[in-house]
Structure 1
Amino acid sequence: MSQIDKQSGGEKEMRFEEAFKKLQEIVNSLESGQMPLEDLLQKYEEGRRLLKICDEKLNEAEQRIIVLSAKQDNGGGAKEN
């Protein structure tokens, strides 16, 4: 599978926890300083893709929370003083 296939397929459906764990592993390997430049660049690119996935998942979760909070506020519930 090519890098483009990964971007358009499997990684887009990756769960936040899985993407975050892989991102942490990449950060740890980059911080080790024991990697050839070409490998470092490849890991950096993969890390950027995973970061984008995590960011999108967090934004989706935030939007869902906003919608649920708005529904709760409009549905009666507790009154503010």
Structure 2
Amino acid sequence: MTTTKKPESLSFEQSMQELETLVSMMEQGDLPLEDALQSFERGITLARHSQQKLKDAEQKVQILTTQNGQQSLDVFESDN
């Protein structure tokens, strides 16, 4: 296991980095079954934590972009 920090104490980026590391280790197929199961469990926990962080960020953006109950976003036009 790469780290034992609680997912709640990790930033989104830290969670994703650890998840990528776990997936890479598991894809190699060299882990004993017990370690693979522990890695899988940790990965599920990290994925759920990351999904919640994204959901929270999305809600915050919606709140910040809504004025008087209506969306106030403009169309984005790229310079390219």
Kindly indicate whether structure 1 or structure 2 has the higher relative contact order, using CA contacts under 8 Å at least 6 residues apart.
1
Q: Secondary structure at the match of 2:16?
A: helix
Q: Flag the 1:72–1:23 CA change in 2: closer, same or farther, 3 A.
A: farther
Name the counterpart of 1:23: 19
Displacement after TM superposition at 1:72 (Å): 8.5
Sequence identity of aligned pairs in percent?
Answer: 32
Query: Residues of 2 paired with 1:25 and 1:36: CA distance?
Result: 16
- Of Structure 1 and Structure 2, the greater helix share is in 1
- Of Structure 1 and Structure 2, the greater strand share is in 2
The number of aligned residues is: 70
String of CA shifts for 1:15-71, please: whole Å, max 9, x gaps.
Answer: 100000000000101111111101000000000110011001000000011111113
Query: Residues of 2 paired with 1:46 and 1:26: CA distance?
Result: 8
RMSD: 2.5
> Alignment partner for residue 49 of structure 1, among 39, 45, 50?
45
Query: Residues of 2 paired with 1:54 and 1:37: CA distance?
Result: 25
Query: Residues of 1 paired with 2:68 and 2:25: CA distance?
Result: 44
Q: If the length of structure 1 is used for normalisation, what is the TM-score?
A: 0.74
Name the counterpart of 1:3: none
